[in-house]
């Protein structure tokens, strides 16, 4: 197998290398790809050094698979060129997610939709991935009527510039001498502004949760509203989700259902203060769920708390699980 990783020097690209190595993905030819300023420099994969290639060089190599994590504009331009060479592209950007002809995949939820013939597959938004992993078994069992989502998203989701801003601010440097990811300080602050504002006064991140969740779960009429907040946490997204079901549920049965689902780890024992926290899910590939409790203010409703590593299951791990799923077909 010839495998390209496009955007290999970025946060998600580097995480992809770790996950590939951990899962012992056998690669006959590894093709690291990054921007022109990185071409020729070396990247280490499983103990061996590889020179970074340009996009045109990588396309000519005609890899079997290309994992893209280089932003929407890069994916829009170059992913089709890889596909023309017969490459299966798994793209982590938002460029292709809502295209009707492109599958938006979370393997635990809709991996059955994949076929050997799929050549362009979209990886969902990080906050969407952990959400649908948690919701899908509940939707199949009880039928979800409405979702109210509040996210608490790590600044790592904004990339290296955000990490530098946080680091500088944590050292007391709030000057304008370096490029910033956010208009306001992220250190010791919460910013209710993830991505750009849209005409409906929601942010793009909030509407991704709406549209992507409906597409992945094949629930186009599902009522969803969301508020996305950037928080000063170095890795890991958290979500408080209020779920209204169509049908009655037994809370113990519901907990058992979640505890037996692949890709989910239940941490839900308030007697010993056991619940998911982003600090403790770093470098983990699962979705963690806790604080499960009935919402007594409305019939057939529930509150849950969902946490996952946004660079892992929210990006790199999910993309590589897609790769592995296709390989197994």
pLDDT digits (tens, 9 = 90+) for 132-165: 999 999 999 999 999 999 999 999 999 999 999 9
Q: Given 126, 190, 194, 274, which residue is catalytic?
A: 126
User: What CATH number should be reported for the domain holding residue 94?
Assistant: 3.40.50.720
Active site residue 193: no
Active site residue 237: yes
Residues 286, 146: one domain?
yes
Residues 104, 178: one domain?
no
Residues 280, 153: one domain?
yes
Global pTM?
0.97
- Cβ atoms within 10 Å of 89's Cβ, excluding its own: 25
Q: Given 194, 211, 234, 237, which residue is catalytic?
A: 237
Residues 190, 148: one domain?
yes
pLDDT digits (tens, 9 = 90+) for 242-282: 999 999 999 999 999 999 999 999 999 999 999 999 999 99
The boundaries of the domain holding residue 100 are 2-124+315-328
Residues 320, 285: one domain?
no
Given this model, what pLDDT does residue 142 score? 98
């Amino acid at each position: 197998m010839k495998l390209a990783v496009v955007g290999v020097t970025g946060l998600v690209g580097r995480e992809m290398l770790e996950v590939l190595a951990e899962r012992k993905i056998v690669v006959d030819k590894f093709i690291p790809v990054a921007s022109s300023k990185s071409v020729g420099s070396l990247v280490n994969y499983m103990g061996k050094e590889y020179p970074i290639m340009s996009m045109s060089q990588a396309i000519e190599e005609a890899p079997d698979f290309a994992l893209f994590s280089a932003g929407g504009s890069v994916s829009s331009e170059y992913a089709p060129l890889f596909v023309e060479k017969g490459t299966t592209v798994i793209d982590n950007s938002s460029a292709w997610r809502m295209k009707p002809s492109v599958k938006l995949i979370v393997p635990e939820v809709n991996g059955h939709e994949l076929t050997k013939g799929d050549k362009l597959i979209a990886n969902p938004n990080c906050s969407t991935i952990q959400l649908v992993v948690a919701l899908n078994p509940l939707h199949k069992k009880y039928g979800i009527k409405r979702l109210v989502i509040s996210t608490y998203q790590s600044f790592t989701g904004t990339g290296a510039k955000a990490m530098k801003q946080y680091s500088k601010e944590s050292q007391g440097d709030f000057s304008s001498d370096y490029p910033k990811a956010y208009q306001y300080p992220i250190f010791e602050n919460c910013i209710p502004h993830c991505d750009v504002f849209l005409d409906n006064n929601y942010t793009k991140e909030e509407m991704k949760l709406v549209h992507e969740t409906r597409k992945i779960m094949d629930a186009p009429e599902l009522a969803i509203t969301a508020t996305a907040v950037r928080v000063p946490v170095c890795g890991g997204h958290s979500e408080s989700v209020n779920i209204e079901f169509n049908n009655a549920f037994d809370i113990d049965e519901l907990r058992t259902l979640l505890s037996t689902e692949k890709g989910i780890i239940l941490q839900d024992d308030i007697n010993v203060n056991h619940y998911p926290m982003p600090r403790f899910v770093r470098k983990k590939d699962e979705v963690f769920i806790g604080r499960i409790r009935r919402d007594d203010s409305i019939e057939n409703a529930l509150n849950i708390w969902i946490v996952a590593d946004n660079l892992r299951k929210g990006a790199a791990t999910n993309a590589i699980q897609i790769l592995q799923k296709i390989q197994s077909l």
